Structures are given as structure tokens and as C-alpha cells.
Amino acid sequence: MVFVLDTNKRPLAPCHEAVARKLLKQGKAAIYKRYPFTIILKEIVDNFRPKTPYRLKIDHGSKHTGLAILRGQEVVWLGQLDHRTDIKERMDKRRAFRRARRNRKTRYRKPRFLNRRRKDGWLPPSLESRVQNIQTWVNRLKKLCPIGYISYENTKFDTQLMRNPEISGIEYQQGTLQGYEVREYLLEKFGRKCCYCGKENVPLEVEHIIPK
């Protein structure tokens, strides 16, 4: 589908690619944006007035976020948002450069990192980037499509319940290590054999194989 704007850059109902090509060929519309592909009408057309508001659905993830625009049960537009995964690494590198610079130029200055208070609503930079990335694209799509509703999927998975459907109450605190010490538990888990070479009746420490 192709997004459509009226002469005042207000969003109208999206149209099919064939309709957009016809309007462009007849000179009744012009290309407004390449991605997502959007046309702007040169004259007022009543056929594109939205009859029902559209719904934007968001399925967020740590690396990718799915976006979908629906008209009723029909999917009009799909998109995938790729988040940055290098923020932590880049901030560590920036911190190293900053510390080296301050050690050279302000060697005797008192440290100030212990008297700084975080603002209310503070988020880690990687999470803040994801939130702002989603907000940016929601605002962009609202300018291109008459979105009336936004649905945000925020689910939590109970992995213990998936393994044991009858678990309840205090059983959540009784994991696989209950009644064991860690070393004894690991010996039982691997059948008192080396998990690398399968040897038995040898002193099994944390690591009995010395790497080269």
C-alpha cells in the first residue's frame, strides 16, 4: 500500500500501488517521500477520505520491533524496526577516552561521579534508544496515515509454568538446586563423569583439563 496526503499534507486513506501509479502518470499526484513511499495529491479528491480510523500495532523486542497498520482485520502496512546494539560498547569506549583526557589535563580534580543524582524516570541508554526509536516511527506514521488507535504488545512468559503446568505457590522457589550443594549437584548432573572427556574415578574439580 502507498500512503496518501492531501494538498495540506494531512493523511488520507492509503491506496493500492496501481492507483498511485495512475495518479502519478496523470499528474494528479507527486512523490512526497520515498520510504515509506508516500504521494501527495495536487487536487482535492474525496475518494481518499478515511471511513474508519486505522490501528497501529507494535510488537517490541530487544533487537527488532515489528510495526503493523491495520484497517479492521486487514493488514495495510508492515515494517520492521532494527535497534542499535552497539550503544554499550560505544559508551565504554567514550568513557575510556574521557578518563584518559581528564587524567592528563585535570589530574588533581576531586572526583564528582559520587555526587550526581539520576533524574526521575531514568532509563539505561540502550533502553532509552529503543523507546525513542519506537516513538519516532510512531510519530512519523501518524503524519502519513490516519491512525486512531495504538496497540502495544507487552507480554511476560512464565518459563517455570511452561516446564511444569501444575506449579504453584512456594514451588516457584524450589528450583532444581534444592537440597544440593552446587558441587554435588553438578556431579549428579553429569553422572560423576567429566563433561569434556567422560573420565570416571578422577578428582573432578572446577576444571581438571588444563588448556594449552
Report how many domains make up the chain.
3
Q: Give the pLDDT of residue 206.
A: 56
**Cα 163 to Cα 159: distance, rounded to the nearest angstrom:** 6
User: Is residue 43 located within the same domain as residue 59?
Assistant: no
pLDDT in tens, 34-78: 989 999 999 877 777 777 889 999 998 889 999 999 998 899 999
Q: Which domain holds residue 16?
A: 1-50
- Other CB atoms within a 10 A radius of the CB of residue 39 amount to 23
User: Is residue 178 located within the same domain as residue 204?
Assistant: yes
Q: Give the pLDDT of residue 119.
A: 85
Q: Give the pLDDT of residue 209.
A: 55
User: Is residue 90 located within the same domain as residue 151?
Assistant: yes
Q: Is 160 left (phi over 0), alpha (psi -120 to 50) or beta?
A: alpha
